[in-house]
A and B are shown apart, each in its own frame.
Chain A
């Protein structure tokens, strides 16, 4: 009886909030923070692991590729198209009025300075990720002479820009550099 009387002294109840109420909030809050911090490792373990992230770059020898040819290489376990454009394809890509494109970019912006004939893009359709046709020998290139994705009919032009179909973006240009005239380092 006496204990209750002490705990609920007039001073505490006067404002309707007791110091003990703060303890409830503090204890529940601390438990909440503890529970939430347990979620961090449980969620983060699913993000790419160190060995996956370590696959950071790929070197490709492009010496043997003739104008009009393309090869498929692998970067981040996904295909990369390395394509050596012909002068006709370059002219066709430059002929397009960029402002009319869904994802406006010039061929110049999508290649390295002085290396406009080398079009290096991910071979991953920007719609839902299929590999477009057009890099391999004899594959359909679609009506714009670039790539054609068989999954949902996205069509890309000679600069691998989206021209038709559901894909929202141009084929992605991965980060890359020429380490020599015949070797490209991707990533």
Chain B
């Protein structure tokens, strides 16, 4: 959907007129990201990260396709073919570091994107479907990133593959057959590496498909904005192009500055040195950890050290880890507050920042060895994480007294809304 005051596409060049009559593709683009798509005028820089995530997907697909031209998915040569890319392939070192750091950059911007949604209530009606598709994208990203990390066939690759497929082995009865099926054997080996390569190639295109649905769903109600007040009239919006293409372009420049700084000056800062040791099925590294972007979830997995009722600790950990993400699917129905933006919710705002701290603590514990005091800290932090979603959020949304909302986006920006004053509407 677009608002009634959206600019209409009027091709001037005869070639575009000709094309518009046969296949209105330029019209589609104009109405999606051009001047034909009005967007709230008060979006801040937190609204940049969707575009950045899309850009990261493009980085990963482009560098990924070219790396696949030189990589060989066979346990005998995988590690060496990666070194061949680093040493022999023209610009191979840059393409590989670009891909590896691109995964980290992708998760950085997606975490900003997700927490933006948490704070501004972007998941609330009528935007639930955008949110649900977004969580699906996040799950697909995790699966893709995991399988990609296996491909170099270093020590972390091998043992990561073993531990992560081992998670499925925790499922009662069918667990071990599923694990064997995933690996195509009894431990990670050529069969596993080979299929992970195929799936690592496939999944980004699935992500791309869901991203298209995500954007389509977004363009029906249009973006939220920092006030959480819906668009009411033309003065609340500006056309996407050139206003937000320019602003997103600026954000992209800032992002590229950090990304290139990592790529050129600290390409291994976020990696694990043990993955420069070829996979050895006979020896586990003393301290295996996943990539940093999995740490919070890994901490939740490891927080369960005791059997509980009929559930063994191992299964509890696996269920908790998956639930910690699946709970996001329920978010639109757990937070019942009619006020969308955290700016006008004083109690919610405090708990939001506590959640941010809690996830950071989980992340720190997930990256640390599984010993005290990290175990007890991650147990408390995991408990708080679930309490936030299942107890605190529903309670806060029922009891909190929100601050008064601005009448409109225009009023929030300019302090007065003359058009609205001329056409008085019932006060909110």
Enumerate chain A interface residues (CB-CB to B < 8 A): 43, 46-49, 52, 72, 74, 76-79, 123-124, 127-131, 149-153, 165-168
> Is chain A's interface secondary structure helix, strand, loop, or mixed overall?
loop
Q: A76 and B313: CB pair below 8 A?
A: no
A72-B282, A151-B370, A153-B370 known; A48 vs B314 contact (CB < 8 Å):
no
* Residue of B166, B187, B195, B307 touching A76 (CB-CB under 8 A): B187
Q: Chain A nearest CB: distance from B289 CB in Å?
A: 10
Residues of A with C-beta under 8 A to B371? 153
Q: Chain A nearest CB: distance from B395 CB in Å?
A: 33
Residues of B with C-beta under 8 A to A78? 186-187, 281
Instruction: Give complex CA distance A130, B187 in Å.
Output: 11
Instruction: Give complex CA distance A48, B177 in Å.
Output: 10
* Residue of A47, A76, A77, A131 touching B283 (CB-CB under 8 A): A131
15 further A-B contacts with Cβ under 8 Å, apart from A48-B191, A52-B184, A150-B285, are: A46-B195, A52-B185, A52-B191, A77-B281, A79-B281, A79-B282, A128-B167, A128-B314, A129-B162, A131-B282, A166-B302, A166-B304, A166-B305, A168-B307, A168-B314
* Residue of B162, B180, B285 touching A128 (CB-CB under 8 A): B162
Instruction: Give complex CA distance A47, B317 in Å.
Output: 26
- Looking across the interface, which residue of chain A has its beta carbon closest to that of B159? A130
Most buried by B among A46, A72, A129, A153: A129
Is B312 in the interface zone, CB < 8 Å from A?
Answer: yes
Instruction: Give complex CA distance A78, B183 in Å.
Output: 13
Is B13 in the interface zone, CB < 8 Å from A?
Answer: no
Q: B340-383: contact bitstring with A at CB < 8 Å (1 yes, 0 no)?
A: 00000000000000000000000000000011000000000000
- Looking across the interface, which residue of chain A has its beta carbon closest to that of B166? A128
Is B286 in the interface zone, CB < 8 Å from A?
Answer: yes
Residues of A with C-beta under 8 A to B286? 150
Residues of B with C-beta under 8 A to A129? 162-163, 166, 169, 187
Instruction: Give complex CA distance A52, B186 in Å.
Output: 9
Q: Chain A nearest CB: distance from B186 CB in Å?
A: 4
Instruction: Give complex CA distance A63, B304 in Å.
Output: 43
Enumerate chain B interface residues (CB-CB to A < 8 A): 159, 162-163, 166-167, 169, 180-182, 184-187, 189, 191, 195, 281-288, 302, 304-305, 307, 312-314, 317, 370-371
Q: A47 and B282: CB pair below 8 A?
A: no
Residues of B with C-beta under 8 A to A153? 370-371
A52-B185, A74-B282 known; A130 vs B288 contact (CB < 8 Å):
yes
Most buried by A among B189, B284, B285, B286: B284
Q: A168 and B282: CB pair below 8 A?
A: no
| A-B contact list, 27 entries, CB within 8 Å | A46-B181, A47-B180, A47-B184, A48-B186, A48-B191, A52-B191, A77-B186, A77-B189, A77-B281, A127-B166, A128-B314, A129-B169, A130-B288, A131-B283, A131-B284, A150-B286, A150-B287, A151-B159, A151-B163, A151-B284, A165-B305, A166-B302, A166-B313, A166-B314, A167-B314, A168-B313, A168-B314
Instruction: Give complex CA distance A46, B165 in Å.
Output: 14
Instruction: Give complex CA distance A168, B287 in Å.
Output: 20
Residues of B with C-beta under 8 A to A131? 282-284
Instruction: Give complex CA distance A15, B288 in Å.
Output: 68
* Residue of B162, B169, B284, B317 touching A166 (CB-CB under 8 A): B317
- Looking across the interface, which residue of chain B has its beta carbon closest to that of A75? B186
Would you list the 6 A-B pairs with minimal beta carbon distance, nearest first?
Answer: A128-B166, A130-B284, A76-B186, A128-B163, A129-B162, A168-B312
